[in-house]
Amino acid sequence: MLHTPQPNLAVEQQSPARAGTDRPLSQGIGHKNILLGMSSSQPADVALRAATDLANQFDAHLHVRQIVDSSTPRSAGEETLAVLKTRVEPFLNQTGKHGTISVLPYANHFDNREMGTAVTLLEEAQGTHASLIILGAHRSDNG
């Protein structure tokens, strides 16, 4: 039996600023944006499904990003983008949600790929005004 990992989605907990309010999360956050960090893995497909469901539920825009090594040739980046669009667009079309799909290199000054990817995603979250960041489960080659 194949076990498909589920995305690790954090549930909002009451913060001191929200304590005592019975207002749902969907109110008061203005225009809603969800940022999804994608890869070519099966867990990323599970995260994509969860992200489109949440975008639909909260009437949010979905911004999908795949981060690549900064030394990736432009032609390879364009191919990665074409594959990413093929995977993502059916989900967006099915829900009728607005979204953006991009492949981005992480900054050259990072020697560590994980750090470069994380910082690039955080910069994208700030740039898209994301209320939520979703990532699929990731396991390094070292286990």
SS3 17: coil
pLDDT at 44: 85
Q: What is the pLDDT of residues 45-69, one digit of tens each?
A: 889 999 999 998 988 999 999 988 8
d(C-alpha 97, C-alpha 94), whole Å:
8
pLDDT at 30: 55
For the entire predicted model, the pTM comes to 0.71
Residue 38 contacts residue 48 (beta carbons within 8 Å) = yes
